[in-house]
Amino acid sequence: MASIEKRLRDGKTRWYARYRAPDGAQRTKTFDRKVDAEKFLVTVENSKLSGSYIDPNRSKVKLGPWADDWIASQTDLAPKTRDRYEGIIRAHIKPRWESVGLADIGHAEVQKWVAGLDLAPASVRKIHRVLSMMLDWAVADDRLAKNPADKISLPRVEQKEMRFLDYVQVEQIADECAAVWSEYGLVVRFLAHVGVRWGEMAALRVRRIDFLRRRILVAESVTPVKGVMTFGPTKGHLHRQVALQPWLCDLLAAQVAGKGPDDLVFSGERGGVMRSQTFQRAALTVAADKVGVSGFHPHELRHTFASLALASGADIKVVQNALGHKTAMMTMDLYGHLMPDRLDVVADAMDAARRNALADVYPLCTGAEIRQLRTGS
């Protein structure tokens, strides 16, 4: 049963709040004022009744060691994601929160910290997300009743205007890049007409091209981690198949001639994994300047694929699969404005279907004929 005991210690009155935790263990917490001890016991009893009781001893762990335990427990992170999270913890989270106990992290303090991060909005959001995820882990482990990083006001990320090449511009840039290194031309055409990410293209192996079915299995990605090109799963950890246009099949067949099944389809000038920064610096920047799209970067070839595919009448689900997006809604949010206006096509199709359906029963079914029947004119 909960009780409060008054004691004199070092010449100062202290109040000892005693209670039993849900597991039956005796707990004691010391206060300078009796009213604070009483409030604490009321809170404890209410939390026990509601099932939200948190053992204060379990909330004393400091965020520094908790962050280390959290990142070590994440088994499903891609190498690049893990490296990014570790960098965020080291550079931003630990300097502020390392010596703070979990129970002492307040919502207001988190909000002030987020507001004081003098970084780009997208970076601030990523940093907050890492902190929030490790605090969610503390909630799941019954160390916190709720996540103090929830419902934080975050800076708005302004949507950058996308650029899309047309077919002629793709060929122009491809030709300019091929003049630097022959494979660079095929890289441009491949990315602009297949839609995979750079890391997925750079990790593509010969055995994952099915020339008979004109399909590519996207099952691996490669990315620099601490300067080392590291192979790992694709974003979302899902395999997918994408289609090849016949002319691109012919180019790829010539590209892989003489290579083994496990060899990379694309390689850099020195035979290693192709790096986007090297490609950008060595060929793409100059090529884009000549074509009149200065500052064009490799990821915009992915945008170009989406634009060309949708303009050709591709279904949004087909584009979603090619891009490897988690949902069609994500694809719609990014590229829905590029879908051609098909309102007239739909209206005309419905008109034809209506005529066919009513032809035998209501031969006079056009709008003008219906008006004549109604008015008698």
Q: Band of the pLDDT at 364, cuts 50, 70, 90?
A: low
94 sits in the region (left: phi over 0; alpha: psi -120 to 50; else beta) called alpha
CATH number of 63-140: 1.10.150
> What are 78-95's pLDDT values in tens digits?
888 999 999 999 999 999
Q: From the options 1.10.3470.10, 3.40.50.300, 1.10.443.10, 3.90.1010.10, give the CATH code of 167-338.
A: 1.10.443.10
Angle between helices 182-194 and 167-178 (to 10 degrees): 160
Write the CA distances from 86 to 63, 123, 127, 140, 316, integer angstroms. Answer: 14, 14, 11, 21, 36
The pLDDT value given to residue 356: 80
Q: Where are the domains of the chain?
A: 3-53, 63-140, 167-338, 344-375
Which comes out higher in pLDDT, residue 5 or 101? 101
**Topology agreement, domain 63-140 and domain 167-338:** no
Q: What is the pLDDT of residues 122-166, one digit of tens each?
A: 999 999 999 999 999 999 998 998 999 999 999 999 877 889 999
pLDDT of residue 311: 84
The model's pLDDT over 261-287, given as tens digits with 9 standing for 90+, comes to: 999 999 988 889 999 999 999 999 999
- Cα–Cα distance between 262 and 250 in angstroms, integer? 20
Q: Name residue 279's amino acid.
A: F
pLDDT (0 to 100) of residue 370: 54
Question: What size, in residues, is the chain?
Answer: 377
- Supply the angle between the helices 79-88 and 121-140 in degrees, to the nearest 10: 90
Average pLDDT over residues 314-321: 90
Q: For residue 274, what are the contacts with CB-CB under 8 A and spacing of at least 6?
A: 183, 187, 201, 202, 264, 266, 267, 268
Report CA 368 to chain centroid distance, whole Å: 54
